[in-house]
């Protein structure tokens, strides 16, 4: 006896689409930050370094296990997430540069800050050129070396309970150091573009560089002036958070569209809002509340961007960069102390070593430099990610040594 019926195939709604993959990866990355926080509290290791290591593990799985080195994590969503995180950081840095703060820190802080970044940047740039590294690599890393991780320094100083002049100076310097770094990096990228353009294209590239910097100042002013008046005038709560997030997204999107420096534009906007919005400070508070998830994506994706096949090529560069940056910070600090004649007895000669931690802004600059000069992107990213791990672990110990 035969059956006349037909048996239908069993259908299960299971399929891993690109959208599903992206959403799962987003959830996994954020979940990993929970375990990183717990591990950082137990081990006292910097959570930024641990997040970067999570990204390196992602790179190992992707490049060595799955053997798909050209696949970008998150299917291209990583780039806008990184851009938003960088704009948030730059905006908050601009908010630190108030007139009252600059007046209170005085010329002593400016002397030390300029001395450390000037000598440090020259030491890295000239040292790498002397060792035979390409001009793009030397100049890019010299500009990147200016940035300091304020969180690592602030946390270590506060844990020490030190309130002496040296501690106050360190807190003041790291509040403005990344601001200097953004300006120096923008100038360095503009100069590199002009130098590498050649005689025939020099004028065009010079105009592009002028627009990248001048346009950033213009965009920051165009967004920052009305934002300083408009933000915070609605009732507290959700509207203010919406205003803050809208400001960040507008800055990131308009900067990319107009081809100007997003870091400089966001910093200018932050400066204007901080100094002109006397009726509130909630925009900065709201961004601080939502900043961390974006930073988690940023640090993990920075680690995942390392090209493991070029690690051998970057090993010598990484070691040279670490040693030159340490030497430059030490010498810059010594020079700054000597220039501060009237307060010299209160300041240690090795104060520059307390400014060695390096994290988010430096890696953001490396990502931007890699995008601008893709032929050097792999080696630049590998060097900065590797050195960041070293500086984030070594930095707090050097801060404590300076404060002892």
- List pLDDT tens digits, range 97-147: 777 766 766 677 788 888 888 899 999 999 999 999 999 999 999 999 988
Rounded Cα distance between 353 and 325, Å, is 10
Q: Are 256 and 211 in contact (CB under 8 A)?
A: no
Q: For residue range 276-326, what is the model confidence (pLDDT) as tens digits? A: 876 555 556 667 777 788 888 877 887 777 777 777 778 889 999 999 999
Q: Where are the alpha helices (DSSP H) in 61-96?
A: 78-96
Place of tokens 């009305």: 226
Q: For residue range 224-241, what is the model confidence (pLDDT) as tens digits? A: 888 877 765 555 544 577
R_g of the chain computed on alpha carbons:
23
- Read off the tokens for 162: 């030190």
| Among candidate residues 376, 384, 332, the one with its CA nearest the CA of residue 354 | 332
> Taking the model in full, what pTM does it have?
0.72
Q: For residue range 178-200, what is the model confidence (pLDDT) as tens digits? A: 777 777 887 888 788 777 766 45
Angle formed by the axes of helices 78-96 and 360-372, to 10°? 130
Q: What are phi and psi of 232, to 5 degrees?
A: 80, 5
Which sequence spans correspond to the domains of the chain?
Answer: 93-403
Rounded Cα distance between 43 and 50, Å, is 11
Give the three-state DSSP class for 161: coil
In this structure, whether the domain defined by 93-403 belongs to CATH 1.20.1530.20 is answered with yes
Q: Which residues contact 29 (CB under 8 A, 6 or more apart)?
A: 54, 296, 297, 300
């Amino acid at each position: 006896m035969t059956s006349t019926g037909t048996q239908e195939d069993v259908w299960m709604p299971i399929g891993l689409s690109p959208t599903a993959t992206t959403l799962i990866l987003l959830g996994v990355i954020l979940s990993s930050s929970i375990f990183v926080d717990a591990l950082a509290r137990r081990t006292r290791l910097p959570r930024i370094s641990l997040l970067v290591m999570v990204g390196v593990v992602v790179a190992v799985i992707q490049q060595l296990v799955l053997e798909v080195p050209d696949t970008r994590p998150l299917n291209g969503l990583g780039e806008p997430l990184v851009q938003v995180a960088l704009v948030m950081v730059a905006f908050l840095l601009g908010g630190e540069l108030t007139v009252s703060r600059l007046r209170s820190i005085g010329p002593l802080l400016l002397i030390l800050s300029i001395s450390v970044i000037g000598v440090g940047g020259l030491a890295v740039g000239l040292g790498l050129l002397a060792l035979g590294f390409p001009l793009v690599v030397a100049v890019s890393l010299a500009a990147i070396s200016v940035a300091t991780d304020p969180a690592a320094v602030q946390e270590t100083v506060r844990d020490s309970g030190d309130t002496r002049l040296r501690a106050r100076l360190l807190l003041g310097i790291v509040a403005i150091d990344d601001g200097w770094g953004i300006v120096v990096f923008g100038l360095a990228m503009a100069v590199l573009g002009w130098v590498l353009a050649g005689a025939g294209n020099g004028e065009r590239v010079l105009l592009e560089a002028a627009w990248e910097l001048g346009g950033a100042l213009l965009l920051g002013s165009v967004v920052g002036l009305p934002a300083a008046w408009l933000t915070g005038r609605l009732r507290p709560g959700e509207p203010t958070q919406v205003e803050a997030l809208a400001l960040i997204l507008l800055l990131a999107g308009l900067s990319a569209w107009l081809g100007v420096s997003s870091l400089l534009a966001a910093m200018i906007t932050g400066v204007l809002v901080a100094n002109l919005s006397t009726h509130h400070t909630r925009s900065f508070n709201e961004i601080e509340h939502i900043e961390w998830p974006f930073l988690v994506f940023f640090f993990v994706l920075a680690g995942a961007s390392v090209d493991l096949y070029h690690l051998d090529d970057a090993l010598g560069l990484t070691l040279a960069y670490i040693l030159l940056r340490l030497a430059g910070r030490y010498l810059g600090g010594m020079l700054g102390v000597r220039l501060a004649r009237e307060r010299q007895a209160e300041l240690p000669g090795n104060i520059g070593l307390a400014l060695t931690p390096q994290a988010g802004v430096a890696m953001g600059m490396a990502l931007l430099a890699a995008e601008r000069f893709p032929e050097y992107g792999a080696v630049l990213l590998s060097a900065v990610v590797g050195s960041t791990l070293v500086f984030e672990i070594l930095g707090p110990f050097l801060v404590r040594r300076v404060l002892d």
